[in-house]
Chain A
Amino acid sequence: MRYSDGRHMVDRANTDLTELRRGVLVLAVLSRLRTRKYGYSLRQALVDGGMPIEEGTLYPLLRRLEAQGLLASEWDTEYSPPRRYYRLNAEGKRSLASLRDAWRDQVRVMDALLE
């Protein structure tokens, strides 16, 4: 299939933006889990904050962060079907603080580079 140059540029811009977001995905997720959320409500919170993440990427990421010891989870059976809620644990809070500082340093570096 041949695309016009305009279509190529839009595809390229979308790919670049996705790559850029991928690097801050964990930080964005941790930042929203200071209060407990389940997968869908977390995705909505990220969309509302201007950080849309594909479902297929976000939901497995929650499991991986839990396996890495950054999140705690619990099933809430008041809903049907039951929902699995996630929130930061102590290690997750420490990791969030550390990543937040690193991110702010990176922003300063990038701002200087982009001047």
Chain B
Amino acid sequence: MNGNEVIESYVRDVARCLPRKMRNDVALELRALLGDELAAKAHAQGRVPDKVMAMELIKGFGRPAEAAARYHPRPAVIDAADTHHFLIWSLAGAVVLTVLSAVSQAGKVDSGLFLQWLGALVIVFALMGWRRRRSPGALRWKPTRDPHSIPRGLSLLAMVATL
């Protein structure tokens, strides 16, 4: 594989991560720019462009998915700011299901329930992120009256656990 083939392979993989309508355009430009960069590198080093040189050049662009994300940023399924709460709710679900499993008469709870719980959380958090992006200001933070009161969500979880 020579330098140009490495570039071609990289451009193809970047294009695959982009929406269909911008693939050809970005691929055409990226191919030309990487070709220019590779030729300049080779010229500066007095060498013929080769695979090692092309790989070195591409390292600066990152994985194809990373390069594509810079051309066409996509929102995260779960906002980074929500990761903490997502993990807390996931853990809470795991704890509740473990306790239910321990006290249930049958002695065990369907293990698929945890996956369903995780799936439901992903959907809820994704919808909340989508809503905030669509209507900035929606779902905004509100001050709570009592710092020691149990959050409404946890109360709900406790009720579900009780049932």
Contact = CB atoms under 8 A, between A and B. Distances in A.
Pairing of A with B = yes
B67 A56 contact: yes
Interface in A40-71: 40, 54-57, 59-61, 63
Closest 7 A/B residue pairs (Cβ):
A60-B70, A56-B61, A40-B36, A81-B32, A60-B71, A39-B33, A84-B29
A54 B60 contact: yes
B37 A81 contact: no
B124 interface: no
Main secondary structure of the interface of A (DSSP, over half): helix
B65 interface: no
B70 A57 contact: yes
A82 interface: yes
Contacts of A56: 60-62, 67, 70
B23 to A, nearest CB: 13
B16 interface: no
B40 interface: yes
B40 A81 contact: no
A100 interface: no
Given A56-B70, A60-B71, A84-B28, 9 more contacts: A55-B33, A55-B34, A55-B60, A56-B61, A56-B67, A59-B30, A59-B33, A81-B32, A82-B32
13 contacts: A39-B29, A39-B36, A40-B36, A40-B37, A55-B61, A59-B29, A60-B67, A61-B70, A81-B32, A82-B28, A83-B32, A84-B28, A84-B29
Contacts of B40: 40
A54 B58 CA distance: 11
A81 B60 CA distance: 22
A59 B36 CA distance: 13
B12 interface: no
A2 B61 CA distance: 26
A52 B33 CA distance: 16
Contacts of B26: 63
A54 B66 CA distance: 14
Contacts of A61: 70
Contacts of B37: 40, 55
Contacts of B67: 56, 60
Interface in B32-56: 32-37, 40
Contacts of B35: 81
Nearest to B61: A56
